[in-house]
């Protein structure tokens, strides 16, 4: 699979799973993402967007051959008040497994076409391939929320990372034990640093975040930050990208870090705002040296 381009599924159809993530469950990898498989719609305020189609899911055993499992959380054209109405914005879906109830919980950025609703949506399913049922949407703890991710710690406690305060500050909000709500405990990180597109990982007791700057669909410099606790003292360290186009994140933007064995991988979106459905993907291995986190460009990702 050529990094930076759109990839095809096992039927030769372009994969529509942008702003996505990969979850491993019982030996199967599930790739969830935004289905943007339609021409751009006109947008209020000049934001390029595609009418909401829903969240797609693809499955694979080798991270190379992807089978389309369908749209697992679909738009609701008949309900203009729903956060899933086609006129809205549904971005950056992230799914975690809730072991005690054997259910899958999906969080996503729920917004309007001018990004002023700044909310999240939560949906659940008893199967990784859906269908997911919307259980709530809200502003987390009453705070605005745009780009977001979910991180599940080794103790099973999960957190929502969300760009807040008009994207100035990355808020970290703890989920309830059932993962479908927030328990109220939250704290800011990267205060007034204007970071978005968060992706989180844990290595040797240190938590890492990779984020982008806030330049709409245009690429910018990624930065990683570290902390000894999820809700803790996060410090921005450096740009993890190396080599040509490192200061543009290889013309991509972070969306998720998944790990296979001990190897973490960063997923990138390569946005094409003039025709969002043609936006590409990359998966790049993350390495660590004495100097810290490094991400080099690789022309291809061919699975495991």
Interface residue list for ligand DGJ (CB under 6 A): 19, 47, 91-92, 147, 196-197, 216-217, 253
The two tokens of residue 257 are 């870090």
Would you give the DSSP letter of residue 49?
B
Nearer to ligand DGJ, 73 or 128 (CB): 73
Closest CB to ligand DGJ among 47 and 97?
Answer: 47
Show the beta-strand stretches assigned E in 119-262: 119-125, 133-138, 148-152, 158-164, 169-175, 182-189, 196-203, 206-212, 223-227, 235-238, 241-242, 253-260
Burial of 187 (0-12, 13-18, 19+ CB in 10 A): middle
Is the C-alpha dihedral spanning 125, 178, 84, 146 positive or negative? negative
- Name the helix (H) or strand (E) containing 267: strand 263-270
Distance between CA atoms of 1 and 62, rounded to whole angstroms? 12
Give whichever of 51 and 91 is closer to ligand DGJ, judged by the CB atom: 91
CB of 35 to ligand DGJ, least distance (A): 14
- In the bound state with ligand DGJ, the residue whose beta carbon lies nearer, of 47 and 288, is 47
Question: Of 20 and 128, which has the nearer Cβ to ligand DGJ?
Answer: 20
In the complex, minimum distance from the CB of residue 47 to ligand DGJ, in angstroms, rounded to a whole number: 5
- Residue 188, strand partner residues: 171
Least distance from C-beta 167 to ligand DGJ, angstroms?
A: 9
Query: 34 or 294: whose CB is closer to ligand DGJ?
Result: 34
The CA distance from 63 to 280, in Å, is 16
Chain residue at closest Cβ approach to ligand DGJ: 216
For the four alpha carbons of 302, 210, 18 and 141, in that order, the dihedral sign comes to positive
Measure the CA–CA gap between 77 and 46, rounded to whole angstroms: 23
Minimum gap (Å) between residue 278 Cβ and ligand DGJ? 16
Least distance (Å) between residue 194 CB and ligand DGJ: 12
CB of 161 to ligand DGJ, least distance (A): 13
Return the structure tokens found at 204: 């040797």
Minimum CB separation of residue 281 from ligand DGJ in Å reads: 14
Identity of the residue, 163 or 189, whose beta carbon is nearer to ligand DGJ in the bound complex: 163
Q: How far is the CB of 106 from ligand DGJ (least distance, A)?
A: 16
- State which H helix or E strand residue 293 sits in: strand 292-296
Measured from the CB atom, the residue of 147 and 294 that comes closer to ligand DGJ is 147
């Amino acid at each position: 699979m050529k990094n930076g381009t759109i990839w095809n599924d096992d039927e030769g159809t372009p994969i529509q799973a942008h702003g996505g993530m990969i979850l491993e469950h019982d030996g199967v990898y599930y790739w969830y993402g935004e289905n943007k498989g339609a021409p751009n719609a006109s947008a209020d305020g000049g934001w390029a967007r595609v009418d909401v189609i829903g969240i797609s899911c693809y499955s694979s055993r080798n991270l190379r051959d992807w089978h389309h499992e369908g749209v697992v959380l679909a738009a609701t054209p008949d309900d203009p008040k729903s956060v899933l109405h086609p006129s809205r914005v549904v971005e950056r879906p992230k799914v975690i497994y809730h072991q005690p109830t054997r259910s899958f919980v999906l969080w996503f950025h729920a917004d309007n076409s001018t990004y002023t609703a700044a909310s999240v949506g939560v949906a659940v399913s008893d199967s990784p391939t859906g269908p997911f049922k919307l259980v709530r949407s809200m502003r987390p703890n009453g705070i605005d929320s745009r780009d977001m991710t979910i991180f599940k710690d080794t103790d099973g406690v999960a957190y929502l990372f969300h760009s807040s305060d008009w994207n100035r500050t990355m808020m970290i909000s703890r989920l309830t034990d059932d993962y479908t709500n927030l328990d109220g405990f939250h704290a800011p990180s990267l205060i007034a640093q204007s970071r978005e597109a968060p992706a989180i990982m844990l290595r040797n007791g240190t938590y890492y975040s990779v984020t982008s700057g806030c330049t709409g669909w245009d690429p910018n410099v990624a930065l990683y930050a570290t902390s000894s606790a999820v809700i803790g003292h996060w410090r921005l360290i450096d740009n993890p990208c190396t080599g040509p186009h490192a200061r543009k994140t290889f013309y991509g933007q972070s969306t998720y870090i998944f790990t296979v064995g001990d190897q973490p991988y960063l997923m990138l979106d390569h946005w094409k705002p003039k025709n969002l459905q043609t936006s590409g993907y990359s998966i790049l291995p993350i390495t660590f040296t004495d100097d810290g986190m490094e991400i080099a460009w690789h022309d291809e990702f061919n699975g495991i």
